[in-house]
Structure 1
């Protein structure tokens, strides 16, 4: 086997490995988010439907979500679960950038990086609005 075909085989094996990692990220992310949200739901039921905040108020800032989670407030715990669920595909985009970089696919590195920037901008806009 010549060096070029060996390098192609190594790259193909690495891509299969990266694709498995991407699949595992999606699986684990959804399961972790579901477990956290289920824990928040159990806390909500234990507290008799009181989410730990006044009626019509939920934690919306990162600091209030963290403080509420430490205090085991159900709404805050469920917000952490939602955050994990939202971050799962974002992490997938980051790993995809790496995968395209390893394939030397510059066009898709740029396109996926633009997608990541758009996601980050949407988080900032969503937070400020």
Structure 2
């Protein structure tokens, strides 16, 4: 396996391990507290609110932080791939990966507007 594959593999493993740990911690908090930490039918929908809930140790905020990290792991992987391809001087794959990264960022922006 080449170095790019190793870097990408470790990036995914670390991202999934971190997000899983955070989600499990949130589930344990939920079990201990017996509530989400938010009023009925009011949950955070913006990143700022999710992070505030996580730092306040609100179970649902912690779980959402883990899910957010899980969603960002592939995006981070693509960003790492750009750097790895640049280091290996593989410019064709660098350009292709930059296009994919741009599409991901645009899709997050469009999804946020909807």
TM-score, normalising length: structure 2: 0.89
1:81-120 → structure 2 map (5 Å cutoff) = 81-120=66-105
Structure 2 unaligned blocks of 5 or more: none
Give the secondary-structure state (helix, strand or coil) at the position aligned to 2:39: coil
1:1-129 → structure 2 map (5 Å cutoff) = 16-48=2-34, 50-129=35-114
Shift of 1:97: 1.2
Q: CA RMSD in A?
A: 1.6
Distance 2:104 2:3 in 1: 26
- Output one character per residue of 1:74-121: Cα deviation in whole Å (capped at 9) or x when no partner: 111011101111111111111211222233332221111011011111
Comparing 57-66 with 15-24, which one deviates more in the overlay?
15-24
Structure 1 unaligned blocks of 5 or more: 1-14
Q: Which structure is larger by alpha-carbon Rg, 1 or 2?
A: 1
